[in-house]
Amino acid sequence: MYLEFDFSGTPILPFFLNLLPGCGVSYVGQSTASNHETLIGDLPMPSEEQTMSPTISIQKSALIAPLPWWLIMIVALGAALMAAGALIALLHPAMLVSPRDQINGAVRVYAGYLVSRNLALAIMLLAALSGRVREQLRILVILTAFIQLLDAGMDAFAGRWTLVPGVLLLAIAFFITAAWLSRTAAPLQNS
């Protein structure tokens, strides 16, 4: 089921709405001269000779539905922990290694990669969560769960056994979140 809105105004808003999942913009109206169209991305824009007004269609299943509180808490906590790990790696990388290990240029390079990875994931998790974009959130949650699982494996391999249970618990919580998001995803429709 689609909800349709008539929109007349600047062509920039329909262009950005067309990028949202479940939304589409189509033009309806009569052409006064030719069928020439100008393209912005994949969105046809009427030329000056045409008198068309855009119609915005929003799929009903794409409307924002509330997420359960526990899911919001798990994703927010995971994003906060990822961001905290990034800040630790950026500001004090010596906290990532044992006290007897020396911090040199190579360690700082790899700490920089950790900063990039963790900050990117934290920002994208929070963006998908705040936008209630379930499919992207599900994919990011699965990615974060596998990263946590691999981090737990690396911690076990390095003998940092005190970190393994917490990292595994976070991975399991993210897998449960991904499973819930998969079960509540809207079914694909053939059109």
Are residues 168 and 89 located together in one domain of the fold? Answer: yes
Please determine, for residue 13, whether its predicted confidence score (pLDDT) is greater than 80. Answer: no
The answer as to whether 189 is a domain residue is no
pLDDT, average across residues 35-41: 46
Q: Judge if 91 and 160 occupy the same domain.
A: yes
For the chain, the domain total comes to 2
Q: Is residue 112 part of a domain?
A: yes
Question: What confidence tier does 31 reach under pLDDT thresholds 50, 70, 90?
Answer: very low
Taking the whole predicted model, whether its pTM rises above 0.75 is answered as: no
* Domain termination site, one of 42, 62, 82: 62
- Residue 150: CB atoms within 10 A of its CB come to 12
Q: Which domain holds residue 174?
A: 69-183
User: Who has greater pLDDT, 99 or 153?
Assistant: 153
Answer for the pair 94, 108: CB distance below 8 angstroms, yes or no. no
In a domain, 11, yes or no: yes
Residue type present at position 166: G
In 10 A of CB 89, how many CB atoms?
A: 23
The predicted-structure confidence for 78-122, as pLDDT tens digits, reads as follows 999 999 999 999 998 888 777 788 888 888 898 899 999 999 999
Non-local CB neighbours of 22 within 8 Å, separated by 6+ positions: 58, 59, 61, 62, 63
